[in-house]
Amino acid sequence: MSMITERPDQGRSPGLLPAPRAAEPARRRRDVGAVIRAYVSLTKPRIVELLLVTTVPAMMLAAGGWPDLWLVAVVLVGGSLAAGAASALNCYIDRDIDQLMRRTKRRPLPAHDVTPRSALVFGLVLATISVVLMGAFTNWLATAMTAGSIFYYDVVYTLWLKRRTPANTFWGGICGAAPVLIGWAAVTGSIAPLGWALFAVVFFWQMPHFYALAIKYKDDYARAGIPMLPVVRSAGRVNAEILIFTVLMLAASLAAWPLGLGPIYGVTAIVSGLIFLSEAVRLVGRSRRGEPLKPMRLFHWSYTYLTILFIAVAVDALI
């Protein structure tokens, strides 16, 4: 026996209760929300956020203060779309290996939240809009570097370098540091030595940053057949490169100081850089002693370091 607690509709069997009328609209809202979240996930928002952290301070420094706010808005939107396009196309290209790795198997394509064709079209549309926007409102140099960065990341790095050489992180660092130059070029139409120095900071930063991540997910990369340095080289080689590139990053940050930055930046570069170096030394020390590595300590600090350093760039630009 069962107790009927709701009055049935007229003419309907008492044992069959109607579905709530609001269920279908609510389901549609959830479906739309899930689709939007999936497409946003394709753009890898954390990467977009990081690129913008370096771009705006570079623009401020190039302008000697606040650049034209319309130009900042254009570069922010164009740069975000370009980074999102590159990431979406990267997801399309890497869909075969993403499904093999625990770190990436929940991305929209391995999870079948977005079809490969849709991801490809989405990435190409974002890329087109970003380049057109930059071309219409900035200059040829910033536009060319925007288009070149998308091409380099997806064709040179993702299709070629990533799957063929352990030097993939090194050469891939070029497009990762490009937003500094794009922001500078958008303001001045050229790139000064200080812009190149900041580019070098971000370029060298990427090696210890990504090596730490690759150590954490070494088995994942090995399963997918990706020759990341920790997968195909000894721990000693990885440790050496982490230290070398951390020192080069610190040296590049200090080299930028006399090129047009003030004491706020200088002190920040020294203190934050030495903390970064100490974290790298700790990671290497744990590796040599055979202790648990805890590579994500260095990985997470690397984000904090870059944010702090470029905030100092922005502050010095305003003083």
What local confidence, expressed as pLDDT, does residue 30 receive?
53
- Please give the distance of CA 232 from its chain centroid, rounded to a whole number: 24
What local confidence, expressed as pLDDT, does residue 3 receive?
34
Give per-residue pLDDT as tens, 13-47.
Answer: 444 445 555 555 545 555 788 888 889 898 888 77
- Among residues 198, 207, 174, the alpha carbon closest in space to that of 260 is found at 198
Global model pTM greater than 0.85: yes
Helix ranges (DSSP H) in the chain:
23-42, 45-63, 69-93, 95-98, 116-137, 140-151, 162-164, 168-188, 193-216, 218-224, 229-232, 235-256, 263-289, 295-318
Concatenate the DSSP letters of all residues of 213-265 into one string: HHHHTHHHHHHHT---HHHHS-HHHHHHHHHHHHHHHHHHHHHHGGGT--HHH
Q: What would the two tokens of residue 35 be?
A: 């689709």
Give per-residue pLDDT as tens, 72-109.
Answer: 999 999 999 999 999 999 999 999 999 988 888 889 99
More confident call, 3 vs 179: 179
Contact of 206 with 179, CB cutoff 8 Å: no
Tell me the CB-side half-sphere exposure of residue 179, using CA atoms within 13 A. Answer: 27
